[in-house]
Amino acid sequence: MSTHVVGDTVALTLRTLRHVVRSPDTIITTVLTPIALMLMFVYVLGGAISTGSKAYVNYMLPGILLITVASGVAYTAFRLFMDLKTGIFERFQSMPIARSGVLWAHVFTSLVANLISLVVVLGVALLMGFRTGAGVLPWLAVAGILFLFTLALTWLAVIPGLTASSVEGAGAFGYPLIFLPFISSAFVPTQTMPGPVRWFAEHQPVTSIVDTVRALFAQQPVGSSIWTALAWCAGVLVVAYVLAMVVYRRKIA
Residue 64: which of 173, 127, 146 has the closest Cα?
146
Average pLDDT over residues 124-128: 94
pLDDT at residue 25 in the model: 66
Average pLDDT over residues 190-195: 88
pLDDT at residue 19 in the model: 67
Q: How confident is the model at residue 1 (pLDDT cuts 50, 70, 90)?
A: very low
**pTM, entire model:** 0.88
Average pLDDT over residues 181-210: 91
Taking the C-alpha atoms of residue 41 and residue 60, their distance in angstroms, rounded to an integer, is: 8
Task: Tell me the per-residue pLDDT of 70-123, one tens digit each, with 9 for 90 and over.
Answer: 988 888 888 888 777 776 666 666 665 666 667 788 888 889 889 989 999 999
CA distances from 86 to 8, 21, 75, 81, 82 (A): 20, 20, 16, 9, 6
Task: Tell me the per-residue pLDDT of 45-70, one tens digit each, with 9 for 90 and over.
Answer: 766 676 666 788 999 999 999 999 99
Task: Domain of residue 35: give its range.
Answer: 3-252
CA angle 42, 68, 61 (to 5 degrees): 35
Residue 66: which of 105, 118, 108, 109 has the closest Cα?
118
CA distances from 98 to 102, 108, 174 (A): 7, 15, 29
Buried b / exposed e across 127-147, counting CB within 10 Å, b at 16+?
Answer: ebebeeebeeebeebbeebbb
Taking the C-alpha atoms of residue 58 and residue 129, their distance in angstroms, rounded to an integer, is: 8
Most confident of 90-99, 187-196, 243-252: 187-196
Domain count, the chain: 1
